[in-house]
Structure 1
Amino acid sequence: MSVLKVIELLSSSNSGWEDATQKAITKASKSVKNIRSVYVKDQSAAVSDGKIMEYRVTLKVTFELE
């Protein structure tokens, strides 16, 4: 029987939401093993002078406990 745990992560990028998501998973995978899935819970952006300056994501990451 597998036991899974879900954690919430926040990440940002100047390039886009996909990049912010990838950065979070890349960083998390250095200390969290057995990542099974990621759910993008929320997306937002910081705006300045009518331009998007930073893309932000809130993620739910599921991983299997050993």
Structure 2
Amino acid sequence: MAVMKVIEIMANSEKSWEEAVKNAVKTASKSVKNIKSVYVKEQNANVKGDSITDYRVIVKITFEVEA
């Protein structure tokens, strides 16, 4: 039986929400092994004038705990 754990992290990108999610997984994978899935919990963006300057996400990352 596999034991799974979920962590919640925030990440950002200047290009898109999709890239922000990719950044979250890439950064988490540096210290967390066996990542199985990512769930986007929240998306928001910073705006300056009439342009989005920063895309932000809060994600839940699920990984398998090694016994």
> Would you say same fold, with TM above 0.5?
yes
Partner of 1:42: 42
Partner of 2:27: 27
CA separation in 1, counterparts of 2:40 and 2:8?
Answer: 10
For normalisation by structure 2, the TM-score amounts to: 0.96
User: Secondary structure of 1:15's match?
Assistant: coil
Q: Deviations over 1:13-65 (max 9, x none)?
A: 00000100001101111110000000000100000112100000000000000
Q: Equivalences for 1:1-66 in 2 at 5 Å?
A: 1-66=1-66
Letter in 2 for 1:49: G
User: Secondary structure of 2:30's match?
Assistant: coil
Note the residue ranges of structure 1 that are not aligned, 5 or more in a row. Answer: none
How many correspondences in the alignment? 66
Matched-pair identity in % = 55
Note the residue ranges of structure 2 that are not aligned, 5 or more in a row. Answer: none
User: Secondary structure of 2:31's match?
Assistant: coil
RMSD: 0.5
For normalisation by structure 1, the TM-score amounts to: 0.97
